[in-house]
């Protein structure tokens, strides 16, 4: 009888701690489930799990809150709260430590040094001020196409700089230029002039318009090479997620009459491609992915329907359809816990590039989620920057 009484909360604070511990415990368990099982990007708890995966400081702050609740529960001898909070604390510590340990081990195996201090105390460089909303073309219906120009640092007046053309992500239906400012700043530090491209999206854009706009931007950049003191023979395409797909598609299909530029510009030879977790086979991506409702919804908006309805469109918008021996060298990064793009998308790209004898690199980052570089200080972003730097030193001479 006495034992039952000890377990039963007494007084306002004990009841409050008990209720809080149960609510917080259930919440953290659900978030942990979606961290361990990355899927359903359209669900709020999955989005919270994504945020916690990308920004571990969220988990650190949550851990500190749990420690405070534990201390209060010990003080007030609230046994139910203690029973709930102790395993929750251990779970949180595991969620923080495991991905860090995995990524450090992977980086070490690839001879890349990553910093824990940068993970939690990264300071973004904001020294470059871009020229924004530079018009690179106008469509037949009068829509102005715009980009931002991020000038390279440490350049001599008589030296032409290489170029990064940045293509933003957002599932082909959202997003805008300016999303990856840290990458742009970092590329400026490496001596690259960055052109961050805006492109049309549904409902205004047709299914060929997005890649057509990217090709138009490329042509305009070459036409204005003298203005920006850039080397038109050293142009790199880079994109994240849908932008990675469009970057590969524009580079691999360059010159294909079925996917022309949106404006009257010349074809542009691409030196290399940086693919940040972009899908390569659109038909298979529609059918097989961890977040089917989200992916199929945006692809239906972008392409106009399913692969069953438009098989040729899906084939034409798949970068792997254009791979041949002269395809530009490509570096790809994809997390094994990506809740949108499955590892198979990177593997099929790797197989096709290998079969065609194209120089390429693939890095499957352990327990890393979609959009990992949204946290510029993350270990995975640090790793990607070092690999990109080495890749460009090799293939952008």
Q: How many domains does the chain have?
A: 2
User: What is the per-residue DSSP string for 181-235?
Assistant: HHHHHHHHHTT-EEEEE----TTTS-TTHHHHHHHHHHHHHHHTHHHHTEEEEEE
Q: Which domain holds residue 48?
A: 2-100
Over residues 158-171, the mean pLDDT reads 95
Chain position carrying tokens 């001596």: 191
Per-residue pLDDT reduced to its tens digit, 317-332: 999 999 999 999 999 9
Q: How is residue 396 written in tokens?
A: 């952008």
CA–CA separation, 45 and 28 (whole Å):
10
Residue 65 lies in a domain: yes
* Whether residue 247 sits in one domain with residue 373: yes
Let me know whether 130 and 251 are in one domain: yes
Is the residue at 182 inside a domain?
A: yes
Is the per-residue pLDDT at 75 higher than 50? yes
Residue 2 has pLDDT above 50, yes or no: no
Q: Are residues 93 and 146 in the same domain?
A: no
Query: What's 366's domain CATH number?
Result: 3.40.50.1820
In the chain, % of residues over pLDDT 90: 91
Same domain? For 299 and 160 the reply is yes
Under DSSP, the state recorded for 241 is: T
Are 132 and 272 in the same domain? yes
Same domain for 40 and 95: yes
In a domain, 138, yes or no: yes
**Residues 35 and 140 reside in one and the same domain:** no
- Residue-wise pLDDT for 288-301, tens only, equals 999 999 999 999 99
The model's pLDDT over 104-146, given as tens digits with 9 standing for 90+, comes to 999 999 999 999 999 999 988 888 899 999 999 998 888 999 9
């Amino acid at each position: 009888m006495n034992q039952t009484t000890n377990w039963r909360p007494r007084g306002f604070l004990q009841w409050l701690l008990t209720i809080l511990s149960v609510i917080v415990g259930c919440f953290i368990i659900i978030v942990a489930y979606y961290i361990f099982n990355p899927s359903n990007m359209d669900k709020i708890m999955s989005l919270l799990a994504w945020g916690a995966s990308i920004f571990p400081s969220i988990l650190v702050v949550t851990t500190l809150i749990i420690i405070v609740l534990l201390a209060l529960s010990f003080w007030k001898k609230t046994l139910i709260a203690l029973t709930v909070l102790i395993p929750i604390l251990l779970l949180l510590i595991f969620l923080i430590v495991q991905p860090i340990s995995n990524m450090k081990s992977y980086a070490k195996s690839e001879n890349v040094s990553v910093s824990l201090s940068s993970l939690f105390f990264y300071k973004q460089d904001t020294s470059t001020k871009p020229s924004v909303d530079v018009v690179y073309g106008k469509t037949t219906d009068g829509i102005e196409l715009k980009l931002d120009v991020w000038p390279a640092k440490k350049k001599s007046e008589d030296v032409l700089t290489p170029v990064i053309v940045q293509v933003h992500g957002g599932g082909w239906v959202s997003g805008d230029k300016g999303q990856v400012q840290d990458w742009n700043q970092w590329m400026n530090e490496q001596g690259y002039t960055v052109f961050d491209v805006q492109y049309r999206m549904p409902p205004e854009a047709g299914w060929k318009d997005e890649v057509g706009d990217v090709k138009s931007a490329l042509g305009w950049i070459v036409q204005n090479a003298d203005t920006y003191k850039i080397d038109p023979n050293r142009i790199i395409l880079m994109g994240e997620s849908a932008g990675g797909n469009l970057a590969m598609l524009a580079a691999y299909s360059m010159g294909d009459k079925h996917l022309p530029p949106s404006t009257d510009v010349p074809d542009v030879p691409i030196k290399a491609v940086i693919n940040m977790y972009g899908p390569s086979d659109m038909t298979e991506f529609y059918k097989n992915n961890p977040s089917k409702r989200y992916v199929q919804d945006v692809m239906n908006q972008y392409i106009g329907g399913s692969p069953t309805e438009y098989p040729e469109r899906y084939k034409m918008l798949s970068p792997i359809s254009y791979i041949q021996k002269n395809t530009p060298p490509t570096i790809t990064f994809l997390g094994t816990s990506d809740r949108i793009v499955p590892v198979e998308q990177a593997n099929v790209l790797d197989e096709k590039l290998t079969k065609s004898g194209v120089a390429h690199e693939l890095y499957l980052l352990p327990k890393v989620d979609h959009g990992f570089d949204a946290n510029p200080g993350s270990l995975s972003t640090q790793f990607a920057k070092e690999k990109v730097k080495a890749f460009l030193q090799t293939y952008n001479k």
